[in-house]
Amino acid sequence: MLEIAKEAARAAALNPDAATPAITPLPPATRFALRMRPETATEIGSVAGFQLDLPINRASLGPRLAARLGPNEWLLIAEDGETEAIEAEIASALGERFHALVDISHRNVGLSVRGAQAADMLNAGCPLDLSAAAFPSGFATRTLLGKAEIVLIREDDAPTYRVECWRSFGPYVHGYLLEAARDFDGG
């Protein structure tokens, strides 16, 4: 593990203090875009604690979260500071198997949206059917919120949703959700 940021302080794109009971900016995380052929995923099943052999649009939840967003595409999310460790684990596990692992820890920001009105708040800008029957816990997809592309992951039955978007879209996505939450008296 190399020395990181001894001198430079980290500044998050979203203000973590701007949290409401329903909508919370999430702390920094380690994130990767992992790409490999579907048959490779089937063969290895999981890597570095990330389960990959999932149906498309499903996520394996937990401290090492893998969301399969397409036939050959996974979004991996883990605790902050695990970048080098996970890179090494995946490299050794996959060996010569063709894959692409790209660090996107800072590309994305995360928001948590939870509670009884969470789906309604998301549905202010997300056209998907978010009912428990259509989008239960463990579902994950790339979709839209208003004019921003997001990745939406349902993490539990509360329900709790994790919203991931690109960094510069974070304030818009956060603002959109807060505006939607006003319908419920601030959520």
In the complex, the residues that contact another protein under the rule CB under 8 A are: 2-13, 28, 33, 35, 72, 98-108, 120, 123-129, 131, 134, 146-148, 166-169, 171-173, 175-176, 179-180, 182-186
Beta strand pairing status for 140-145 and 148-156?
antiparallel
Q: Give whichever of 59 and 180 is closer to another protein, judged by the CB atom.
A: 180
Q: Specify whether the CB–CB gap between 63 and 51 falls below 8 A.
A: no
Q: Give whichever of 61 and 139 is closer to another protein, judged by the CB atom.
A: 139
In angstroms, what is the minimal distance from the CB of 10 to another protein?
Answer: 5
Q: Give whichever of 59 and 126 is closer to another protein, judged by the CB atom.
A: 126
In angstroms, what is the minimal distance from the CB of 60 to another protein?
Answer: 21
Strands across the sheet containing 148-156: 23-25, 108-114, 160-166, 148-156, 140-145
In angstroms, what is the minimal distance from the CB of 74 to another protein?
Answer: 11
